[in-house]
Amino acid sequence: MLSGCWFNRIVLVSWIISGAAIFVALKNIELIVHGQLYYYGLHFSSDWADPYRVFTWTLYLCLGLPLALSGVALVSSFFKDSQKIPEKRIIVKQKVKPPQQVPKVAPQSPIKEEPKIVEKVNEGGIPCPHCKKVFSRALVMLDFRGRKHTLVSVCPYCNYVLGNTRQEKDVTGDVQVASPDEKIRH
């Protein structure tokens, strides 16, 4: 609440009002000194008049400068707000197409390990038996379903598991990935 622009404006307006009141009070004191006190026997002397003028003009300067700056800040705050207001725009409704329904995919059955047959093919493509798409390289992923985590080759389009990349006989755990010239069939 204390950091909003309206609070700042209220502070500036109250400062301008109180500064104007102080200015009027100082002017009245000066009229008393230079007007009415002469009727009561005050004699003009530069001994007291020169310091009085210096202090009076210093007070006017110290009061007038913040008043002028507050006035400029107050006026500019209204101009800044008028620039922030967005222009009125006519909103045209756009035609929205109904969302397309994605066909539901049946859950995949557990991995069935089948022996893989590797053939040399000059085309360099591997067909997926599930989605029938051909790709050049299968994704290799970890399968966490069994007690042993194994690497499996996966179709990049439908995530169908093509087979294990580790051979059962291999005890050392070497990973073998098919080259692009080899085709994996189940």
The pairing of beta strand 139-143 with beta strand 150-154: antiparallel
pLDDT reading at 175 higher than 60: no
Residue 46's identity, in one-letter code, is S
Q: In which element (H, E) is residue 10 found?
A: helix 5-34
Question: HSE-up of 160 (CA within 13 Å, CB side)?
Answer: 17
For the chain, the structural domain boundaries read: 5-83, 117-167+181-185
Residue, of 142 and 176, whose pLDDT is higher: 142
Rounded-to-integer distance, Cα 118 and Cα 182, Å: 6
Burial (CB count <10 Å: 0-12, 13-18, 19+), residue 161? buried
Query: What's residue 168's pLDDT?
Result: 41
**Whole-angstrom Cα Rg for the chain:** 45
CA distance 23 to 32: 14
pLDDT in tens, 45-83: 888 889 988 999 898 888 888 888 888 888 888 876 555
